[in-house]
Amino acid sequence: MSQITLSQLTAFVTVAKKKNYSKAAAALRKDRKTISEQVEYLELNLGYKLFEKSGRKLELTDKGEKLSHRAQLLSADISTFESFALSLFDTDLETLSVCFDESIPQIWLTSLRRSCLAKKINLDLIKVSREHGEKLLKTAQCQFGMFLAKGQVINSELYWKSLPPVSVSAFTHQDSLLLTQVPCSIRALASQKQRVYSSVTSNTDKYPLLLSDSRVFENDLDLLLGGLVDEPSWAFAQSSRAKNP
């Protein structure tokens, strides 16, 4: 499956709201053909139809309805994040360095990179643990950091702002026995090994969303996904990584 783009997501959300390509195009200040093509490309990527014609209106299909709610939340998150990202810019800024941890959605980082590219700003993106990130910020090796709050006290030497919440879902291998339970219970999740997508290995009792006593910490996504294939286990990750609604 090809990567879903922000323009496809925006077109889908707007068409779902306006129920018409022409009205969606007017709202986005694009031509009708561009909007219809973005939706068609999204449908090709997903492998199923999102809309059905009902007279002069476009109505969401069952799968389109399921995807619509999540897409609206993600679109709102991106819009809020873009506003925050743009507020960081200084007119004379030539280089921007940002450190972040595994909890930050890739689509946020892509949006920030595109904004910097448009303003001809060189962007350094460095993935580190929150503890390491705070050291980089205090020593001026990075200008900004984005990290999971984890209910910890913010370092008094740092100035901070809150970002939109990140939606997470439980992921497992497609042949996992956990998928035989719909919905899957917390007890079932707790009975299997949990793979924690994080650089943090100390003070784990305070880390959010720990359900299983049997757990391993991995801060590389490919390693984590490989672990889900190699042994019965599951992991929390950003909902935006799911291919299906």
DSSP string, 41-109: HHHHHHTS--EEEETTEEEE-HHHHHHHHHHHHHHHHHHHHHHHHHHT--TT--EEEEEE-TTS-HHHH
Spatial contact of 45 and 1, defined as CB atoms under 8 Å apart: yes
* Amino acid present at 88: L
- Per DSSP, what are the bridge partners of residue 237? 169
Same domain for 96 and 140, yes or no, is yes
Same domain for 93 and 55, yes or no, is no
- With cut-offs at 50, 70 and 90, classify the pLDDT of residue 7: confident
SS3 call for 217: strand
The CA distance from 56 to 228, in Å, is 46
Same domain for 90 and 140, yes or no, is yes
The pLDDT of residue 1 = 47
Q: What is the pLDDT of residues 153-208, one digit of tens each?
A: 666 677 777 777 777 888 888 888 888 777 888 888 888 999 988 876 665 555 66
Identify the CATH number of the domain in which residue 33 sits.
1.10.10.10
Lowest mean pLDDT segment, chosen from 142-151, 159-168, 218-227: 159-168
117 inside domain: yes
Nearest alpha-carbon partner for 216 in 186, 192, 193, 238: 193
31 inside domain: yes
Domain holding 195, by residue range, is 168-241
72 inside domain: no
152 inside domain: no
The pLDDT of residue 244 = 42
- pTM (2 decimals)? 0.52
The pLDDT of residue 71 = 82
pLDDT of 137 > 70? The answer is yes
28 inside domain: yes
Same domain for 137 and 193, yes or no, is no
The pLDDT of residue 206 = 59
The pLDDT of residue 202 = 60
Same domain for 182 and 237, yes or no, is yes
The CA distance from 170 to 238, in Å, is 9
- With cut-offs at 50, 70 and 90, classify the pLDDT of residue 8: confident
Q: What is the pLDDT of residues 95-125, one digit of tens each?
A: 899 999 888 888 889 989 998 888 888 999 9
Cβ neighbours, 10 Å, residue 147: 22
The pLDDT of residue 127 = 92
B/e letters for 203-241, b = 16+ CB within 10 Å, e = fewer, are eeeebeeebbeebeebbeeeebbebbeeeebbbbbbbbe
**Among all chains, which residue has been given the structure tokens 């986005």?**
28
pLDDT of 36 > 90? The answer is yes
Nearest alpha-carbon partner for 42 in 57, 27, 24, 23: 24
Q: What is the mean pLDDT of residues 48-74?
A: 88
193 inside domain: yes
Nearest alpha-carbon partner for 197 in 219, 226, 214: 219
**Among all chains, which residue has been given the structure tokens 């919905």?**
183
- The domain boundary residue, chosen from 96, 115, 146: 146
The pLDDT of residue 18 = 93
Number of domains in the chain: 3
The pLDDT of residue 57 = 92
